[in-house]
Amino acid sequence: MQNVDQLESKLLDLSTPGGENYGQWLSHDEVKSTFSPSKEAVSSVTKWLKSNGVKHYKVNGAFIDFALDVAGANSLLGGDYQYYVKDGQTKLRTLSYSIPNSLAEHIQYVDPSTNFGATSAFTPVPRPSRTTVTKRNDAASKSSIDASCQTSITPSCLKQLYNVGDYAPDVESGSSIGFSSFLNQSALFSDVFQFEDKFGIPKQNFTKVLINNPINDQNPASKNYGEANLDAENIVGIAHPLPFTEYLTGGAPPFVPNIDQPTAADNQNEPYLPYFRYLLTQKDLPAVISTSYGDEEDGVPREYATLTCNLIGLLGLRGITVIFSSGDLGVGAGCLAPDYKTVEFNAIFPATCPYLTSVGGTVDVTPEIAWDGSSGGFSKYFARPSYQNHAVKTYMKTVSDKTKKYYAPYTNWNGRGFPDVSGHSVSPDYEVIYAGKQARSGGTSAAAPVWAGIVGLLNDARFRAGKGSLGWLNPLIYKYGPKVLTDITGGYSIGCDGNNTQTGQPEPAGSGLVPGARWNATIGWDPVTGYGSPDFGKLKDLVLSF
């Protein structure tokens, strides 16, 4: 890929409201011609492949796909491809490789072969019904939110909570929404239809797109639906009748072992690279795409993370909003670096990628406060982007010198801060339909598709006004966030205490411990709730003004 050094500046130029080129998104062909590798790079790499006996290869934009048997791949790359088998699933990968020095400037990453998804899905944990209600302040007593929303979250509750009101989108406006499914997850049509029926939503179908040989499992007995159902049901609940698409991607990528994923057989990282590669080949995509998955950042090879993030940036140039959940691990879970010695806070990738909008979690409804499981913090892979400078510097003024010094060994104060925004996650929990039965679920996995639905509605309003899509949101968020978002100033996240906030289970023996570790919600941006939760009415007025 060439001209990567221009990516951030181009994104800021097109995505900053008030700028001369705001909203003048690039076409599929313009992105491809600008960032595809040079003829010299293609020639050098293909000559190397052919000289090493590679007969079957194809140049696909910024990538060259080639086929070799295991012995040939080991010889070409100096790797050690092996088959790993667990619970009946077989995966082929290598944990290291090498390339000639003369090609280092042309090859950013070599993606090892993968076949099947990981052995278990990263799904939200079903939660028991909450019967107690948190005491609220005087302002809450004046709230117009239904009393039933104090015990469970329904589509009606979301519309009340986020000031959607009676806004009615137009199915013909051109606004549409996408969401991602990995690790053999697949939304059950029957459950989504039952959800619609339960909450009085006119029956709406949705589209599935299969990438890299995934499993589109519609059998409730397989239980591979938790995350996918949550995404689909939240999107249709808040954004009906806007069309939405589920993108199912098979496979599992390379990883770096850590205390939570000690062996390749435990790898539950998602195949982001083939997913975003596929999206970039498509000329017609939803204007907002939500993903409710994430991995501990240093459990992903740095080169893989960087390349994936750049591909996300290319989608932004095309006017597509990419949203990711920040994660459900609070400050961290295992809290150990891959060397199994260094204690650290766990940043979550891809939420740390600066070219997407990361969504953290809140609890309660009036007022919302930070969820203690909302992942956040600072990246070790990605430097703090310029659009965050003011927000993070302002936040740092609220952090005592004692805390800065105490946290310094565990975090990177100069890294990209996340999340950017937040949304309701748990307590009260979301009502969902799982395998034909009413259930409760939540997490930032719920907040991300809710935000995608809100963006879908905002795009609908803009399209109907003759305007373009919102695209990459972060310049808008960091410029106008305090004016159009509901600041979350109470609560905090926890972690690095030997427990996993997502599963509720203890971490493996030897996990990293940092007594008192937490990120506090404060006035303005903070690394647990970002700039806060959406106010659709205020956002709509804003985005129709430029």
Judged by DSSP in three states, 270 sits in coil
Distance CA 304, CA 298 (A): 11
pLDDT at position 519, please? Answer: 98
pLDDT at position 130, please? Answer: 36
Distance CA 489, CA 522 (A): 4
Cβ atoms of 347 and 314 within 8 Å: the answer is: no
Closest by alpha carbon to 438, among 154, 122, 221?
154
488 annotated ligand binder: yes
526 annotated ligand binder: yes
**Helix/strand/coil (H/E/C) assignment for every residue in 238-258:** HHCCCCEEEEEECCCCCCCCC
Active site residue 69: no
Q: Which residues partner with 208 through β-bridges?
A: 246
Backbone angles phi, psi at 475, to 5 degrees: -60, -35
| Tens digit of each residue's pLDDT, the chain (546 residues) | 889 999 999 999 999 999 999 999 999 999 999 998 888 888 999 999 999 888 888 888 888 888 888 888 888 888 887 765 544 445 566 677 788 888 888 888 887 533 223 322 334 444 443 333 333 333 333 357 999 999 999 999 999 999 999 999 999 999 999 999 998 899 999 999 999 999 999 999 999 999 998 989 899 988 889 999 999 999 999 999 999 999 999 875 443 444 454 444 444 445 899 999 999 999 999 999 999 999 999 888 898 899 999 999 999 999 999 999 999 999 999 999 988 999 999 999 999 999 999 999 999 998 999 999 999 999 999 999 999 999 999 999 999 999 999 999 999 999 999 999 999 999 999 999 999 999 999 999 999 999 999 999 999 999 999 999 999 999 999 999 999 999 999 999 999 999 998 888 999 999 999 999 999 999 999 999 999 999 999 999 999 999
Strands 56-60 and 63-67: antiparallel
Backbone angles phi, psi at 175, to 5 degrees: -75, 135
Tokens matching residue 130: 């909450």
Sequence-ordered list of residues with C-beta below 8 angstroms from that of 287, at least 6 positions apart, any chain: 174, 175, 176, 177, 319, 320, 321, 455, 456, 459, 469, 470, 471
pLDDT at position 110, please? Answer: 81
138 annotated ligand binder: no
Cβ atoms of 468 and 458 within 8 Å: the answer is: no
Distance CA 44, CA 33 (A): 19
Q: Which residues partner with 530 through β-bridges?
A: 526
Closest by alpha carbon to 323, among 211, 235, 430?
235
Is the peptide bond prior to 367 cis by the omega test (within 30 degrees of 0)? yes
Q: Which residues partner with 289 through β-bridges?
A: 178, 322
pLDDT at position 79, please? Answer: 80
For residue 208, the tally of other CB atoms under 10 A from its CB is: 16
Q: Please identify which residue in the block is written with the tokens 């109907």.
A: 464
pLDDT at position 138, please? Answer: 31
Cβ atoms of 448 and 456 within 8 Å: the answer is: no
Of the candidates 191, 196, 227, 233, the residue annotated as catalytic is 227
Q: Which residues partner with 91 through β-bridges?
A: 84
Distance CA 406, CA 400 (A): 10
Of the candidates 196, 231, 246, 364, the residue annotated as catalytic is 231
pLDDT at position 1, please? Answer: 83
Tokens matching residue 275: 């997913």
Cβ atoms of 230 and 430 within 8 Å: the answer is: yes
Sequence-ordered list of residues with C-beta below 8 angstroms from that of 343, at least 6 positions apart, any chain: 335, 336, 337, 409, 410, 496, 512, 513, 514
Active site residue 173: no
Tokens matching residue 108: 């950013």
Cβ atoms of 95 and 36 within 8 Å: the answer is: no
For residue 187, the tally of other CB atoms under 10 A from its CB is: 27
Tokens matching residue 298: 């240093």
Is the peptide bond prior to 126 cis by the omega test (within 30 degrees of 0)? no
Active site residue 400: no
The matching CATH number, chosen from 3.10.20.310, 3.60.15.10, 3.90.180.10, 3.40.50.200, for 149-543 is 3.40.50.200
* Measured CA distances, 93 to 70, 211, 254, 269 (Å): 10, 19, 7, 13
Concatenate the DSSP letters of all residues of 147-163 into one string.
Answer: GGGGT-B-HHHHHHHTT
524 annotated ligand binder: yes
Distance CA 420, CA 177 (A): 20
Cβ atoms of 530 and 357 within 8 Å: the answer is: no
pTM of the entire structure?
Answer: 0.90
pLDDT at position 143, please? Answer: 58
Q: Please identify which residue in the block is written with the tokens 């990246």.
A: 379
Distance CA 304, CA 246 (A): 24
Judged by DSSP in three states, 381 sits in strand
Of the candidates 176, 445, 469, 533, the residue annotated as catalytic is 445
Q: Spell 527-541 as b/e; 16+ CB within 10 A means b.
A: bbbbbbbbbbeebbe
Distance CA 47, CA 530 (A): 48
